[in-house]
Amino acid sequence: MRGIRGAITIKNDTESEIVAAVRWMVTEMIRKNGVTPEDVGAVILSATEDITAAFPAAGARQIPGFDSVPLFDTRQMAVKESLPLCIRALVLADTDKPQRDIRHIYLGEAALLRQDLVMKRPDEPEED
C-alpha cells in the first residue's frame, strides 16, 4: 500500500466548486498513478476552515467506482498565513510502484505548496 498526496484550491466556497475540484483532483491522483477504484483502501480529505459549503467527500463520491471506497473528511489545521480555500487528499492505494515513482498531484494555487509537482488545468494553455 502507498500513500498518494494531492491538494487543490477553489476560488469560491460553493458546493459546485468543492465537488468539481475534489472530483478532478482525486481522478488525476488515481489516473497518474495507474490506480483503479478497486485498488483504493481509503481516502482522507481535509479542508481549510474557510471551506464550509460542502463536504469534500461529496466530490470523490461522484467518481465512477468510488461508491464503495471509504472516505473521511477532516478540518485542516488553522496555521497563520496558510493557503486559503485549500482541500488536501491522501489516497491509500494498493500498488506495486516504489514510493519514488508515486506521482503526487498539486493543482491550482496548491501548486505553491509543492512547486516541484505542478500540474496545469486541462483548459490552461501550455507555456512556450
pLDDT tens-digit series, residues 25-82: 999 999 999 999 999 999 999 999 999 999 999 999 999 999 999 999 999 998 988 8
SS3 2: strand
- What is each CA distance from 81 to 28, 48, 52, 99, in whole angstroms? 27, 12, 19, 30
Domain count, the chain: 1
Provide the pLDDT for residue 115: 63
For position 58, which CATH number holds? 3.30.1330.40
- Determine the pLDDT at residue 116: 62
Residue 117's pLDDT is: 55
Q: Identify whether 23 is part of a domain.
A: yes
Structural domain span for residue 19: 2-117
Q: Report, as an integer, the average pLDDT of 100-123.
A: 74
What is the overall mean pLDDT for the chain? 90
Mean pLDDT, range 91-99, rounded to an integer? 96
84 in a domain, yes or no?
yes
pLDDT at 111: 79
